[in-house]
Structure 1
Amino acid sequence: MEQFWRKYIFPVLYTFIIAASMRLINAVLTGFRFWERSWEETAIECLLLTTGYAYSYVLNYLLRKYQQQPKPPSAIKEYLVVAGVIILMTDGFILPIQHFTGERGCELYDVINFTLIPTLFYLLYYVIKRANASMKKSYEQQLLLEKISNDQLQTELRFLKAQFHPHFLFNALNTVYFQMDESVGTAKHTVEKLSELLRYQLYDHQQTVTVGAELQYMQSYIDLQKSRMNDHLQLQVKIDEQLNKQNVYPLLLLPLVENAFKYAGGDYWINISASLQNGWLVFHVSNAVPQIATKHRKGGIGLENLRRRLALLYPGKHALDINTCQHNYSADLKIAL
């Protein structure tokens, strides 16, 4: 319906407004009452309303032509060309018809009136169309830039996901390797747990999961690691019962837990806690480390991967603090839910 209005109704209606404006101005200047003239002359003038289609076609053609040019001319030059085309159409087509069909022919003020008024009206029409086309083009370019940015984001997230899997597998397979020497049955159980963990990792990193599912995944990993740790490990895990149905992006907690198990030493303890505070997921992991290891620990690929994913998935809505002391290492992660 909108296209029908623009293409068939508006050109005639706009030309009618122009014609009415010219007649009213003429009536004021000359005192000629155009509404008292013969119906034949009025009918001929009504037929001239169809010239609106010609003006509309030509102006839209010029607009497309200038929009498609690699380097469009200046706005002033473009408007002068458009105004010249309008004047040529008016003086070459409308004025002769008015001269030969009108009762009085064409006086000088008729020429000025019939040239100036349509030029101003149709130039205004062109300016508005040009502004709308420029806004539409700018909007489309903005959408294209956003699409390119989103594609780049997805590509980087896929790369980080591909990078995360080998890192996780490397640590998990190390566990299975050492268990093979001690107990094949335990190693088989570990492989079974590992398959459950890998199944969870099939989630798209740009699709959220419930916090409960993420914490359950973390607990499965803890159970997997406990099977290879000795009985001297002091492990404390505290989970806030309020954390369940909230949504979070997956695989953001595991790198911190994985690091704790990887570097635990010294007094040999690990503390893990997760709580809900004012709409934020507050996750804490700390572990004892040997004094020698404290001096050389830098975090590795897992933490760098985590930092980048947090920056992409939670820009301005997260905080990650890493602290290293003489005998312990801690990581505090806050995510807005």
Structure 2
Amino acid sequence: MVPALGHVSVGVSAILRARGLTHPLPHTTSGTVRKKWILILCAWTMVGLLFAAQGIVVEKVQGAHVNWVIEGALELVWWYVWAAYTPLVMGLAKRFPLTGPRVVLHIAIHTITSLTMAPVASVTQYFLSLGLLRFVFHITGTDVLHFLSPFGVGVLFMSFTGLLTYWLVVGLYQSMHFYQVAMERQTIAAQLETQLSHAELENLKSQLHPHFLFNSLHTIGILMQEDVDAAGHLLVSLGDLLRMALAQRENEITLQSELEFVGKYLEIEQTRFHDRLKVHMDIPPDLLGVYVPSLALQPLVENAIKHGISVDSTAGRLEIAAKLHNGRVRLCVRDDGPGPAPGSLLRFGVGLTNVRSRLKQLYGDEASLELTGGDGRGCEAIITIPLRNSH
């Protein structure tokens, strides 16, 4: 169990490093900066064109003569001024977030900054627009007033718009930051869940191997005195089984692969029980390719043999079945042992508890493991999982 948890710990550290959560100031490449500027310019260009279109439509409705080129250019000047200020505002929003214990202080800082930056942006926009009219469109004198309000009125009006723009940028940055953090946490949680699922698989293997070795080597020791050929065959089966278990790295494998593993396990058990153990399989061919949790059936088979067949000399029938039920795959393992006493509470051992935990991690509430008594005799374990034909 310890190595598996250590593996998870290493995996967590790797995930955090990969996400940059262990470094407060991640390195920013020139390509990233260029991409950010392009996105900012594109965003403000779209906003400017929308406002320009709105202004042109309003003036057209009022019956005024409109030069859409000049109107559009003046509108873009204003928003490009704020495009230049956007990285600064985003930096302030990052430095003074509107969350945490110091949120009141941060709101005060943003308020003072917005009251300063909005008039500066308005003055900048006014003189840039004035220069555009004079030197590009050659509009001078009183004709300028057709496109620009007087300095005081224009700066005052645009300062109010600037205040709204500043807080809009801060709000958008906070929203994107919250979304990014939420996505990173979700990704880390998913990767951690995968790591934990692998840890559960390794833990199951660590329990599986000693059990196999103890029982199988004991049987081999007895057979060496009675039937050397049978003992040799058992050694080969044990080697194949351990090789398959050690080579298994995936959390899900095809049902056919899982049944091959269970078959190797049953070869060993049939050597122990001789002709008493009868295995009956009811597996539709079209279900052999569906994916099931690795090492899911073996603990159920082991539980049926240990608590059912081995405790009753008259028992010996083991049934393994698979079928589709309401769009899900049901895997059933049933024995004809004495079964639980009437009214008794069925308990999950370590192996079945491990299987149920892995089902929860892999499929959530879409999977289940049930343990029920038979009709007066035997016990049945049923795994229900979503139908998956491929990864």
For 2:21, the equivalent position in structure 1 comes to none
Asked if 1:63 is matched to 2:93, the reply is yes
* Structure 1 residues 152 and 77: CA distance shift in structure 2, 3 A: farther
* Structure 1 residues 17 and 103: CA distance shift in structure 2, 3 A: farther
Q: 1:185 aligns with which of 229, 244, 259?
A: 229
Q: 2:273 and 2:380 mapped to 1: Cα distance?
A: 21
Q: 1:288 aligns with which of 337, 351, 363?
A: 337
Shift of 1:135: 2.1
Asked if 1:323 is matched to 2:373, the reply is yes
For 1:6, the equivalent position in structure 2 comes to 39
Whichever residue aligns with residue 185 of structure 2, its letter is Q
For 1:85, the equivalent position in structure 2 comes to 116
Question: Is the CA contact 1:283–1:332 (under 8 Å) kept in the aligned structure 2?
Answer: yes
Question: Is the CA contact 1:209–1:249 (under 8 Å) kept in the aligned structure 2?
Answer: yes
For 1:137, the equivalent position in structure 2 comes to 181
Asked if 1:222 is matched to 2:266, the reply is yes
1:123-156 deviation per Cα after TM superposition (whole angstroms, max 9, x unaligned): 3344333323332233223323333333333333
Question: Is the CA contact 1:271–1:287 (under 8 Å) kept in the aligned structure 2?
Answer: yes
TM value normalised by structure 2: 0.64
Shift of 1:173: 2.3
Whichever residue aligns with residue 39 of structure 2, its letter is R
1:225-265 deviation per Cα after TM superposition (whole angstroms, max 9, x unaligned): 2222244x252523234442222122222223223433524
What is the DSSP-based 3-state SS (H/G/I as helix, E as strand, rest coil) of the residue aligned with 1:201?
helix
Whichever residue aligns with residue 323 of structure 1, its letter is G
Deviates more, 1:255-264 or 1:104-113: 104-113
Query: Which structure would you say has the larger Rg?
Result: 1
Shift of 1:18: 7.4
Shift of 1:194: 0.7
Shift of 1:120: 2.6
For 2:22, the equivalent position in structure 1 comes to none
Whichever residue aligns with residue 276 of structure 1, its letter is K
Question: Is the CA contact 1:266–1:290 (under 8 Å) kept in the aligned structure 2?
Answer: no
* Structure 1 residues 207 and 141: CA distance shift in structure 2, 3 A: closer
Q: 2:43 and 2:381 mapped to 1: Cα distance?
A: 64
Q: What is the correspondence of 1:57-136 to structure 2 with a 5 Å cutoff?
A: 57-67=87-97, 73-74=103-104, 76-77=107-108, 79-90=110-121, 93=124, 106=150, 108-136=152-180
Q: 1:333 aligns with which of 353, 358, 382?
A: 382
For 2:317, the equivalent position in structure 1 comes to 271
For 2:240, the equivalent position in structure 1 comes to 196
What is the DSSP-based 3-state SS (H/G/I as helix, E as strand, rest coil) of the residue aligned with 2:246?
coil
Q: 1:48 and 1:289 mapped to 2: Cα distance?
A: 85
Q: 2:251 and 2:111 mapped to 1: Cα distance?
A: 55
Q: 1:302 aligns with which of 351, 360, 367?
A: 351
Q: What is the CA RMSD across the aligned residues, in angstroms?
A: 4.5
* Structure 1 residues 322 and 108: CA distance shift in structure 2, 3 A: same
* Structure 1 residues 140 and 115: CA distance shift in structure 2, 3 A: same
Structure 2: where are the runs of 5+ without partners?
1-33, 59-64, 135-139, 143-148
Shift of 1:191: 0.6
* Structure 1 residues 310 and 148: CA distance shift in structure 2, 3 A: closer
Whichever residue aligns with residue 312 of structure 2, its letter is G
Shift of 1:192: 0.3
% identical aligned pairs? 21
1:33-59 deviation per Cα after TM superposition (whole angstroms, max 9, x unaligned): 997xxx9xx999987775344322321
Structure 1: where are the runs of 5+ without partners?
26-32
For 1:313, the equivalent position in structure 2 comes to 362
For 1:168, the equivalent position in structure 2 comes to 212
For 1:29, the equivalent position in structure 2 comes to none
Deviates more, 1:247-256 or 1:122-131: 122-131
Shift of 1:201: 1.3
Shift of 1:70: 7.0
Q: 1:54 aligns with which of 84, 105, 109?
A: 84
* Structure 1 residues 147 and 89: CA distance shift in structure 2, 3 A: farther
Whichever residue aligns with residue 96 of structure 2, its letter is Y
> Number of paired residues?
322
Question: Is the CA contact 1:236–1:271 (under 8 Å) kept in the aligned structure 2?
Answer: yes
